[in-house]
Structure 1
Amino acid sequence: MASVLELFLKVVPVAFFEHLSLPLKPHHHNGVFTLPVVIWLMIFQRLDDKGSLWVAVQEVVRGLPASLIPRPSQRLRKRTVSSHTGGYNQARQHLPLQVVEQVNTTTFQQLMESRSHPGSGPKGDMFILDGSTLLMPHTQPLLEAYPPSRNQHGVSHWPIMRVLVGHDVHCGLATRPRWGPVHGPEAVSEQGLVEELMDQLPARAGVMGDQNFGVFSVAWTAQQRNRPVLLRLTPARAKRPFGPVLCSRTDQRVNWKPSRWDCDGHPGWPPDACVSGRLIVRKVYPSDGSGPTKLYLFTTLDSPADEILQLYGLRWNVETDLRTLKKTIRLEMPSLSVRRRAKKSGVGRPAYCLSR
């Protein structure tokens, strides 16, 4: 945990928090639970096995490093901090959401800039899209924001949230999660969250997606933002726009046009909407010994086909990363309000990235 704290203070030093705290109320400036202390303790909770308020406060009672509290309060200097969790809990509640978001953004940017392979293409920044759902506690605010599922037997008990994350295929760094309701009038699909996620990626970064994201809307969204894509298509989606005869050595230039159903769901697209790229088809043999399977890949990258296949193979490095992310930082920890959920998710991503 000491190495995580050291990296935390490197990417978001105390001076960064002092700048953030200038326009805030006095209780964010002084006392035991200053901005950097509160943010660090929230990250600590995500990475600790128990993750309770008491465990976090014990870190303060035992003494925090001077690098985190260069101007300690009198109670910190005299080591008379109480073990009660009320003060820390109030500090978390008073923590402005915009501070959490700024820490989230800055942490991601600093960690991305510290890597050794900037650029675009197979050796540059490529993010694989990874989606899942989370069950929320049964509270009225969350029920209204994230309606539960329903079927012929009635309505489910738990609110449910859809979440989308992008992982750098080279180092596993995670983007800030994007989320929305699965059901109700404001329901969003994983593909619908892609647009929000792409807007926060580094410049020139590309997007990779498995069969769930191998649809025209994702390719079109990336093209509108000048981002390269590498998408795996289902056999049916590959054959519908590109023809039924696709051998396992196919590598051809294609113009991907939306289907009538695609256009019906996106009335704002121009009549001549099209994404130019390549269709690569290869027979591959999984490492688990199972039978061969055909990969249908659409890409706007110009690299040789073998490099494209190697790049897509990196997806297995992060195949379970969203499950790891959910487990490591406990994304499904109880949050009784929408705002608390946003704060916990906001510090969750930095906790995960710092621990990578």
Structure 2
Amino acid sequence: MTNRVKILKQKFSQSWGLPFRELLPESVIEQAIDELKIKYRRRLFDPFVTIWVFLSQVLDVDKSCHNATSRVIAYLVSEGVEIPSTDTSAYCQARARLPEELLQKLFGKVAQDLEEKVTAEDLWCGRHLKVIDGSTVSMPDTVENQKAYPQPKSQKPGCGFPIAKIGMIFSLTTGAAIALVIDVLNTHDLKLARKLYQFLNPFDVILGDRAFCAYADLVTIKNLDCDAVFRKHQSRKTPMYRGRIVGESDKLVTWHKPKRCPQGLSEDAFAALPSTLVVREIYYYIIIPGFRTTSVSLITTLLDTKIYPTLELVRLYDLRWDVEVDLKHLKSTLGMDVLRCKTPLMVRKELYVYLLAYNLLRTLMWLSGTTYGVPPLRLSLQGTRQHLNHFIPQMLANSGVKRHHIYQTLLTIIVHKPVPHRPGRAEPRVRKRRPKAYPLMNQPRNQLRQQLQAA
């Protein structure tokens, strides 16, 4: 057993090159296990092998457990040792034994290490940039998942899938995922955001859309020694004559504490809010054909017009769209949109492993871009994953200096084709590919089967 585990650890560290050998080595996982005081038995699928197999599973196009188990067998078959059973139960049980806190800690560790690689030249006005947004993920229609993350009430029982609402913070500098919270579908974005603020570091600047622009949240962010740049909520009407003008379409405005405690905020937290808050409001127009938004009103706590000029803030908020691209990478490129696990606990573990794999790819892109002078955010995440998958057989077949040369070649080709810069690009939201002409399921599957049998 010990020999097989040693072989697998060597294979994974060699085949995945930098991500497993340097960014997520055995020592990092072991340190996290020791900090969480996790006890485990010596077996084939120990925490180290299980995490590496889980990572390769979510990065693969075929995300089945059978495919992951087959990969383990293929790694062992050429070493002359006893191969494990083709049954997936041992691997599935090993995944279930992995503590959720361990995967959460590793995902945060990789994001933190990547953020520490950022130099002063990469900062915006000397500040780290974060962006916050919410999205949804679906999962298999099981009793446990439905109980924890119910499907929309508009759907009949048995005709939909459980859906969870997720809130996330990304780094605008590196593209890495910083933090994640999970809740039921009808959770407001503000409720998720208030759980995410704890992951901010002092002097961070956080961007968000108008869903996050609330009085209490701006105060909370300021109390954390951070600043915010949000789009003004449509329900807040500020007359143009109010406030002190500090620039063109730029003024300082005094906001007053709400008269009633907002929903989702405790009475104690509401009582602790100051009576007034001075914010900066910037108003500008967007004249780009095809864009739905024609005017934007920004609210920010960055009050110094010399350090943070008006145009810099306008350009900064334009970068908020990057969070939509990051979520698309996770949900469409990596396949996190539709999860596969059948219990809420395993669903959360699967999410953390997706984010861990995403951050490892982002780190590979960062090292490749900074090595060869290409902006890392302009590199293709899909292309990085494809190149990495194609280079795995060569990394397995070689060692030493030759494997290092193969790895350097991988870094080189990742930067060969950056994503084109398309300012002002607008595409119609339509679908060209016609779906199959099958009707939607409007009754549970067992009832439909009975109708077929009766016919």
Matched, 1:324 2:325: no
Tell me how far apart the structure 1 counterparts of residues 119 and 72 of structure 2 sit (CA, whole Å): 36
Could you tell me which residue of structure 2 aligns to residue 87 of structure 1? 90
Query: 1:38 aligns to what SS in structure 2?
Result: helix
The match for 1:37 among 40, 49, 65 is 49
Which segment drifts farther, 109-118 or 127-136? 109-118
Tell me how far apart the structure 2 counterparts of residues 95 and 292 of structure 1 sit (CA, whole Å): 45
Matched, 1:46 2:58: yes
Deviations 1:87-111 (Å, cap 9, x if unpaired)?
2222112212222122122111111
Could you tell me which residue of structure 1 aligns to residue 68 of structure 2? 56
Deviations 1:293-316 (Å, cap 9, x if unpaired)?
222011112311111111111123
Contact 1:46 1:328 in 2 (8 A): no
- TM-score, normalised relative to structure 2: 0.66
Query: 1:199 aligns to what SS in structure 2?
Result: helix
Could you tell me which residue of structure 2 aligns to residue 70 of structure 1? none
Deviation, structure 1 residue 83: 5.8
Could you tell me which residue of structure 1 aligns to residue 180 of structure 2? 177
Contact 2:249 2:282 in 1 (8 A): yes
Q: 1:106 to 1:298 in 2, by over 3 A?
A: same
Tell me how far apart the structure 2 counterparts of residues 229 and 163 of structure 1 sit (CA, whole Å): 21
Matches within 5 A, 1:5-44: 5-21=17-33, 23-27=37-41, 30-44=42-56
Which protein has the bigger helix share? 2
Could you tell me which residue of structure 2 aligns to residue 296 of structure 1? 297
The match for 2:134 among 131, 136, 141 is 131
Could you tell me which residue of structure 2 aligns to residue 201 of structure 1? 200
The match for 2:149 among 137, 146, 151 is 146
What letter corresponds to residue 29 of structure 2 in structure 1? F
Could you tell me which residue of structure 1 aligns to residue 371 of structure 2? none
Deviation, structure 1 residue 164: 0.9
Query: 2:282 aligns to what SS in structure 1?
Result: strand
Could you tell me which residue of structure 1 aligns to residue 285 of structure 2? 283
Tell me how far apart the structure 2 counterparts of residues 119 and 345 of structure 1 sit (CA, whole Å): 29
Q: 1:118 to 1:125 in 2, by over 3 A?
A: farther
Which segment drifts farther, 119-128 or 140-149? 119-128
What letter corresponds to residue 243 of structure 1 in structure 2? P
Q: 1:260 to 1:114 in 2, by over 3 A?
A: same
Unaligned 5+ runs, structure 1: 65-74
Deviation, structure 1 residue 318: 3.1
What letter corresponds to residue 294 of structure 2 in structure 1? T
Contact 1:329 1:351 in 2 (8 A): no
What letter corresponds to residue 281 of structure 1 in structure 2? Y
Tell me how far apart the structure 2 counterparts of residues 195 and 128 of structure 1 sit (CA, whole Å): 14
Which segment drifts farther, 118-127 or 85-94? 118-127
Query: 1:115 aligns to what SS in structure 2?
Result: coil
Q: 1:279 to 1:134 in 2, by over 3 A?
A: same
Tell me how far apart the structure 2 counterparts of residues 86 and 334 of structure 1 sit (CA, whole Å): 15
Query: 1:175 aligns to what SS in structure 2?
Result: strand
Tell me how far apart the structure 1 counterparts of residues 355 and 215 of structure 2 sit (CA, whole Å): 29
The match for 2:319 among 291, 314, 318 is 314
Q: 1:290 to 1:12 in 2, by over 3 A?
A: closer
Query: 2:179 aligns to what SS in structure 1?
Result: coil
Matched, 1:243 2:239: yes
The match for 2:343 among 334, 337, 354 is 337
Query: 1:108 aligns to what SS in structure 2?
Result: helix
Give the total of aligned pairs. 336
Which segment drifts farther, 164-173 or 76-85? 76-85
Higher-Rg member (1/2): 2
Contact 1:120 1:205 in 2 (8 A): no
Q: 1:99 to 1:260 in 2, by over 3 A?
A: same
Matched, 1:115 2:121: no
What letter corresponds to residue 37 of structure 1 in structure 2? V
Tell me how far apart the structure 2 counterparts of residues 60 and 53 of structure 1 sit (CA, whole Å): 11
